[in-house]
Structure 1
């Protein structure tokens, strides 16, 4: 049996049913739309998953004889409260940690330099002052490179921050609907 005959038999067997062909076309178009518009539809899909997960909590409350509208309101208010708590409580803590790191960096560097000087004083035959200067200049180069990367990353992530804000506003609205 030739390859052409095998392929022809296979297509006749599986694609003679028009429902199978329509299913294949719908699946192909659905995947194409998701891949092509995935970035724009991501908040919708996120809200869909979160709404699906929150529906279990609503079902649990309705089994306990709480009216469905009140259960939906309780779950939605709890979800929005959790999102706002994460946004307004966690973000300032992260910001303070970042500020403390930036403020402590010079002290840590001077402490490291003092440690290197003590190391050179304890072992003058093993570590020369030139080696210490080379180490310090290498650390300074690395830190300046990391600083440039951090600045570039912070400027390039501005779009991500705007996207996060869109998520914080759009996802709870989509979960509600």
Structure 2
């Protein structure tokens, strides 16, 4: 038993770089789990800087001075945030208020429809089962309403923190954009000079994460805007609110599209019933999801994420449970990181060191 354990340790941890990589991964996971809420502004700033870094690089390629590229990109970011705060949030608040005000009416209509089931299908469902189902649903809705009220009241102090974030995050984003190379060089100074394995993983994951974050942000905007245009054209109630939900649903592969279908279908059904408008709504919504998965995603993500659907869903569940929203957002790149590490460890250690000039010279000598 000890020999097997010793061989396993020698295989995976015989190289000092592998041990250092394990320590860094463990420390990063511990920091996220223990200080994730405290470091939320920093994490959000890094993500936003990732999103805007492409614009800075493009302006630099056009021979624009770096300081001017940073200022232009920062002004674009501020303009986008101002548009969201002044235009989008009031619409969302208004439609959310109307939606929750009409929930009791929707529940009553749903109850009336449920009471018709025993008359039409007496062999499948009884009136007692329907009444029990409605009782349970009414109780759960009551608990949900109390939870929403208690949550909103207990989290009033969070509003002050959010206001602080609106000041702190843009400042951090500006400095991340301005001094990104200096910050990376400063962190690299604490690592060994010869780090072929970590350099290989870093280069691969830096490109994939940047591509994923920017592509996912563009996908959210495009899907949300197209959904809003379709819902507005059809005259669907709460178009902006539902479109935002559909846009954000692309964060969770497979599951998000299924979950977003429920409110869209529910609002359409209570607005039009089993009419042709409801059928057209489902057809258009299905086309949006099909075009997103088969056209938009291949165009946006230049590097395909070669992960099995089961692995993607497992990553969403695991990282979402550990890290909440950001875990869901980064589930796929984190799963890709785990896959890259598992592949590179220990095979990558041998390959990386075999291509290391110093090791090659020693082997030749």
TM-score bracket, shorter-length normalisation: 0.5 to 0.7
Distance, in Å, in 1 between the alignment partners of 2:98 and 2:4 is 70
1:21 corresponds in structure 2 to 19
2:75 corresponds in structure 1 to 77
Secondary structure, in 3 states, of the residue corresponding to 1:40?
Answer: coil
Deviations 1:46-102 (A, max 9, x none): 211211221110111222232222121111011011112212222222333345557
The Cα shift of 1:104 comes to 7.1
Residues 1:18 and 1:84: Cα distance change in structure 2 (over 3 Å): same
Structure with the higher fraction of residues in helix conformation: 1
Distance, in Å, in 1 between the alignment partners of 2:24 and 2:148 is 45
Secondary structure, in 3 states, of the residue corresponding to 1:39?
Answer: coil
Aligned length, in residue pairs: 156
TM-score (norm 1): 0.65
Structure with the greater alpha carbon radius of gyration: 1
1:10 corresponds in structure 2 to 8
Contact 1:83 1:168 in 2 (8 A): no
Of 57, 60, 63, the match for 1:59? 57
Residues 1:15 and 1:63: Cα distance change in structure 2 (over 3 Å): closer
Distance, in Å, in 1 between the alignment partners of 2:37 and 2:100 is 34
Of 165, 189, 195, the match for 1:167? 165
Residues 1:144 and 1:37: Cα distance change in structure 2 (over 3 Å): closer
Superposed CA RMSD in Å reads 3.8
Compare 17-26 and 96-105 and name the one that shifted more: 96-105
Distance, in Å, in 2 between the alignment partners of 1:23 and 1:103 is 53
2:303 corresponds in structure 1 to none
TM-score (norm 2): 0.35
Of 38, 41, 45, the match for 2:39? 41
2:29 corresponds in structure 1 to 31
Of 43, 66, 69, the match for 1:68? 66
Greater relative CO (CA pairs within 8 A, separation 6+): 1
Residues 1:22 and 1:153: Cα distance change in structure 2 (over 3 Å): closer
Contact 1:43 1:167 in 2 (8 A): yes
Of 69, 93, 96, the match for 1:95? 93
Contact 1:14 1:20 in 2 (8 A): yes
Structure 1 regions of 5+ residues with no counterpart?
Answer: 117-133
Compare 25-34 and 144-153 and name the one that shifted more: 144-153
